[in-house]
Amino acid sequence: MNAAGWLAKGVAHLEERRVPEAKANAEFMMAEVLGTGRGTMLTRGSQELSEKQSFQFWSWIKERGKRVPLAYLLGHQPFLGLKIEVTRDSLIPRPETEELTLECERLVKSLNVPAPKILEIGTGTGCVAIALAQLLPDGTVFATDVSDKALALALKNAIAHHVGNRIRFVREDLFSDKQGLRGWADLVVSNPPYIPTKDLDELEPEVQCEPRLALDGGKDGLEAIRAIVKAAPKLLKPGGFLALEIEARQGPSVSKLLSAAGFSGVNIKKDAQGRDRFVYGSVGKLVK
């Protein structure tokens, strides 16, 4: 069967199983199988697939029909124009986190400091750390996670994007006291686990394939955020920023946490969909 035939069969299979964006998903898989972009793929409908290609395409279609995320099947996800490798050990980078990253670039540039220092807590695939290292070429990034597998993946991604020498990936629990980094950072950024434990089972099947460690924010969803807000003032230089991604309903509670911890200029920012998704603020003085 040719590519167009397999594609139509794949779309029908996904539609039957009510997979969101069935057509686009099948097109991305076919483009990957043909080793081309999605646009070019559409012009190659008459191409016969080899046995290997059709086997690969149909295996992915069946897995996607069981709601395995497309990025886990293809093994990569775009992030601010970078091709980020993903595995089931890491969260799949999201478009809103691209917005968080661009906001961080803006905040750091507003400080106007030479050689800015950035600390990312919970780096996952390393997407935020890598994009920031590229956007801020004279910056240094320190990125942490508790998952060894995620850290190994993040390092691999950083090397692939030529910033492996500017990011230090360290296994570090966000609840521990980072003594060596006191007063070090111009920016602390995190997209922490922020989903309340009780909501995890209600999430879309795709999200349920992702590591719980990356999602579970404890009873009220704010456990990791509280720990970061408590730790960040000690890690930041005077004037430095803490920037967090949050769940849409958490804006007021997270901004209260920042204010109570002594942050000033606390701001809730909306994402492109108009939902409260980011909170940031700056510290006034060096905290010992």
Ligand X SMILES: C[S@@+](CC[C@H](N)C(=O)[O-])C[C@H]1O[C@@H](n2cnc3c(N)ncnc32)[C@H](O)[C@@H]1O
Q: Contact positions toward ligand X, by CB under 6 A?
A: 91, 93, 97, 121-125, 127-128, 144-147, 150, 173-175, 191-193, 213-214
Q: Least separation, in Å, of the C-beta of 255 and ligand X? A: 20
Residue 41 or 141: which CB sits closer to ligand X? 141
With a CB cutoff of 8 Å and minimum separation 6, the contacts of 134 are 82, 161, 163
Q: Least separation, in Å, of the C-beta of 225 and ligand X? A: 11
Residue 36 or 87: which CB sits closer to ligand X? 87
Q: Least separation, in Å, of the C-beta of 207 and ligand X? A: 11
Q: Least separation, in Å, of the C-beta of 57 and ligand X? A: 28
**Residue type, position 128, single letter:** V
Q: Are strands 117-121 and 185-190 parallel, antiparallel or unpaired?
A: parallel
**Residue type, position 111, single letter:** L
What is the spatial distance between Cα 59 and Cα 116, in angstroms, rounded to a whole number? Answer: 46
Q: Least separation, in Å, of the C-beta of 91 and ligand X? A: 4
Closest CA to 191 of 121, 137, 253: 121
Residue 27 or 89: which CB sits closer to ligand X? 89
Residue 33 or 277: which CB sits closer to ligand X? 277
What is the spatial distance between Cα 113 and Cα 108, in angstroms, rounded to a whole number? Answer: 8
**Residue type, position 179, single letter:** Q
Q: Least separation, in Å, of the C-beta of 42 and ligand X? A: 30
Residue 5 or 206: which CB sits closer to ligand X? 206
Residue 57 or 72: which CB sits closer to ligand X? 72
Residue 53 or 190: which CB sits closer to ligand X? 190
Residue 46 or 179: which CB sits closer to ligand X? 179
Q: Least separation, in Å, of the C-beta of 10 and ligand X? A: 28
What the block records as the tokens of 98 is 């691209």
Q: Least separation, in Å, of the C-beta of 39 and ligand X? A: 27
